[in-house]
Chain A
Amino acid sequence: MNSENQAVEERTWSKPKLIDSAFLRWTITFLVIIYIIFAVRSFEINVDRIIRGLDRAWEMLYAFLQPDFLARQSHIFQGVLESITMTVVATSLGILFAIPVTLGAAKNISPLPVYYFCRGILVVFRSLHVVILAILFVIMFGFGPFAGVLTMIINSIGFIGKLLSEDIENISDETLEAIRATGASWPQLIIYGVWPQVSSRFIGLSIYRADMTFRQSTVIGLVGAGGIGAVLDTAMGRYDFNTAAAILIVIIILVLIGEYVSSAIRRRLT
């Protein structure tokens, strides 16, 4: 028995490496490390400036411990109201406009030219970050909530279009065939074959989207697109840290409420 086992050569195994050549593997690792070292050095970290900044940081932190809700009460209130209005308008219009693009961007239910066109729209909409979009729209249409609403509509279309069209592409092909085989028209295929299969996901995404839009509405105000962010920007610009702190607290509370409500609704849906 034993002698037999020894006669058989030990066969080993190890996981195949991502890059076969050992030389190439080590060269790439080395180059990446060198790059990171130089990259960090290129930032020219100025210790003096940081130390001076620390004073102001303390000042700010101290102010934040005494938030002042009252001094600019009406501005904060109006800012919040504007953000909420923007959220409602941008979310509902965004979802509405997203529907045709979403259907077009699902390969299994749309002809190829339409598919490429809608995918193209989604790629463009998604590649532009909200802040960049907001700056563009502020330049085009001036300061204020209109630019903000447009920004978030575009962003909603990109978000819902991308995620939901992928969900549509994953629904059962045979079910679609079955509905087609009955002689149903394309709109009937959508409402009878597609919608029931993605409706709960659609509603879930829409609620998440509303939550997301509110958070975005606080950011894009910083570049002049209206909402509570604009009030925050003004407060920061005046070094009025007590008011800024109050605004930040209000934003945090509203985001928390939004998150809680949206997750509560989504839990009910599934």
Chain B
Amino acid sequence: MLEIIDLVKKYDSGPLALDGVNLKIEAGDIIALIGPSGAGKSTLVRCINRLVEPTSGKIMLNGVDISSLNKKELREARKNIGMIFQEYALVERLSVMENVLSGRLASVSFWQSLRRNFPQKYISEALSLLDRVGLGDYVDTRADQLSGGQRQRVGIARALLQKPDLLLLDEPTASLDPKTARQIMRLVVDLVQEKNISAIINIHEVKLAELFTKRIVGLREGRIVYDEEAAKLDTDALTLIYGEEDWESERPAEDESE
């Protein structure tokens, strides 16, 4: 479904962010992308929908090489790729409904989007998605009135309104408290399975990755160093991905004081 071949990204300043990444994902796969800060996780995710332009390599999505598309074709391809962000990335001054409907911008004309005149089909879909993520009562609330967890739910509804084949999640829980983070992950995973969407979840918390995904990919210094079933992730793997650390002790602070 998605195949990344020899993907390289070099920013103008600094070393290689991605150094020949190869990754294959089948329809319905949910993978977690873990790795230390600066390993290139965000860059990898953003190269797939070309928010970041790759330097070289191929990104084949359903047989089309995304990296070779022109602007118009790229917009068409982006319709099939939903994205969820760490800081939710909502338009703060717009209402919940307007934010969700923005997921369908590529399917309506400029005048329709200016007048917020979306086809009835999208409006019904947006409303039922909002019910599904638990925000049915917040349709006309402005996005900046919502809590973090609620905002991320809007982000999820916006991405799913696109009816994507592939969902990219860039640290979707990093700005949330532990409980909300779990709820959001559960919601995303449920929805993704329900609608048979593939998902790449770029995530910091290894525990959440193990809990909610079946496959874990480890990225280090722009290279994939690990790619296994989630159940197989052990301390050796963590050392391989993140480097040397006492992975066994759960709460090092307690060990030291007693």
Q: B-contacting residues of A (Cβ < 8 Å)?
A: 172, 174-175, 177-185, 187-188, 191-193, 196-197, 199-200
Contact: B51 with A181, CB < 8 Å?
yes
Contact: A179 with B85, CB < 8 Å?
no
A-B contact count (CB 8 A): 86
Q: How far apart are the CA atoms of A20 and B226 in the complex, in Å?
A: 53
- List 30 A-B residue pairs with CB atoms under 8 Å apart, sorted by A's residue number: A174-B85, A174-B86, A174-B87, A175-B91, A175-B92, A177-B85, A177-B89, A178-B83, A178-B89, A178-B155, A178-B158, A179-B105, A180-B51, A181-B49, A181-B82, A181-B83, A181-B168, A182-B102, A182-B103, A182-B104, A182-B158, A183-B77, A183-B78, A184-B75, A184-B113, A185-B110, A191-B113, A192-B105, A196-B91, A197-B93
Contact: A182 with B110, CB < 8 Å?
no
Q: How far apart are the CA atoms of A181 and B159 in the complex, in Å?
A: 9
- Chain B residues within 8 Å of A191, by CB: 110, 113-114
Please give me the residue from chain B that is nearest to A198 by CB atom.
B93
Question: Given A193-B91, A196-B94, are A182 and B106 also a contact pair (CB < 8 Å)?
Answer: yes
- Chain A residues within 8 Å of B102, by CB: 178-179, 182, 184, 192
Contact: A181 with B114, CB < 8 Å?
no
What distance in Å separates the Cβ of A133 from its nearest Cβ neighbour in chain B? 35
State whether the Cβ of B236 lies closer than 8 Å to any Cβ in chain A: no
- If over half of A's interface residues share one DSSP class (helix, strand or loop), that class is named, otherwise mixed; here it is helix
Contact: B106 with A178, CB < 8 Å?
no
Question: Given A177-B51, A177-B85, A183-B79, are A196 and B106 also a contact pair (CB < 8 Å)?
Answer: no
Question: Given A177-B51, A178-B85, are A192 and B91 also a contact pair (CB < 8 Å)?
Answer: yes
- Chain A residues within 8 Å of B89, by CB: 172, 174-175, 177-178
Q: How far apart are the CA atoms of A187 and B75 in the complex, in Å?
A: 13
Please give me the residue from chain A that is nearest to B84 by CB atom.
A178
Contact: A196 with B93, CB < 8 Å?
yes
State whether the Cβ of B76 lies closer than 8 Å to any Cβ in chain A: yes
State whether the Cβ of B199 lies closer than 8 Å to any Cβ in chain A: no
* Apart from A182-B102, A192-B98: 6 A-B pairs, beta carbons within 8 A: A175-B89, A175-B91, A177-B51, A181-B83, A196-B93, A199-B93
Q: How far apart are the CA atoms of A70 and B49 in the complex, in Å?
A: 72
State whether the Cβ of B162 lies closer than 8 Å to any Cβ in chain A: yes
- Chain A residues within 8 Å of B74, by CB: 183
- Chain B residues within 8 Å of A174, by CB: 85-89
- Chain B residues within 8 Å of A196, by CB: 91-94
What distance in Å separates the Cβ of A187 from its nearest Cβ neighbour in chain B? 5
Contact: A197 with B105, CB < 8 Å?
no
What distance in Å separates the Cβ of A256 from its nearest Cβ neighbour in chain B? 33
Q: From A183, A187, A193, name the one whose CB has the most chain B CB atoms within 10 angstroms.
A: A183
Q: How far apart are the CA atoms of A16 and B89 in the complex, in Å?
A: 42
- Chain A residues within 8 Å of B155, by CB: 178
Q: How far apart are the CA atoms of A184 and B158 in the complex, in Å?
A: 13
- Chain A residues within 8 Å of B110, by CB: 185, 187-188, 191
Please give me the residue from chain B that is nearest to A194 by CB atom.
B91
Q: How far apart are the CA atoms of A64 and B106 in the complex, in Å?
A: 66
- Chain A residues within 8 Å of B106, by CB: 182-185
10 closest cross-chain pairs (CB), A and B = A183-B106, A183-B78, A178-B89, A184-B105, A174-B89, A181-B83, A196-B93, A183-B75, A183-B79, A188-B105
What distance in Å separates the Cβ of A109 from its nearest Cβ neighbour in chain B? 14
- Chain A residues within 8 Å of B49, by CB: 181
Please give me the residue from chain B that is nearest to A175 by CB atom.
B89
- Chain A residues within 8 Å of B90, by CB: 175, 178
- Chain B residues within 8 Å of A177, by CB: 46, 51, 83, 85, 89
Q: How far apart are the CA atoms of A193 and B98 in the complex, in Å?
A: 11
- Chain B residues within 8 Å of A175, by CB: 89-92
What distance in Å separates the Cβ of A259 from its nearest Cβ neighbour in chain B? 28
- Chain B residues within 8 Å of A187, by CB: 110
Contact: A172 with B87, CB < 8 Å?
yes
Q: How far apart are the CA atoms of A180 and B105 in the complex, in Å?
A: 9
Please give me the residue from chain A that is nearest to B106 by CB atom.
A183
Contact: B91 with A197, CB < 8 Å?
yes
What distance in Å separates the Cβ of B139 from its nearest Cβ neighbour in chain A? 17
Please give me the residue from chain B that is nearest to A196 by CB atom.
B93
Q: How far apart are the CA atoms of A188 and B112 in the complex, in Å?
A: 10
- Chain B residues within 8 Å of A185, by CB: 75, 105-106, 110
What distance in Å separates the Cβ of A113 from its nearest Cβ neighbour in chain B? 16
Q: How far apart are the CA atoms of A197 and B91 in the complex, in Å?
A: 7
- Chain A residues within 8 Å of B78, by CB: 180-183
- Chain A residues within 8 Å of B83, by CB: 177-178, 181
State whether the Cβ of B81 lies closer than 8 Å to any Cβ in chain A: yes
- Chain A residues within 8 Å of B104, by CB: 182
Scan B136-155; emit 1 where CB is below 8 A from any A CB, else 0. Answer: 00000000000000000001
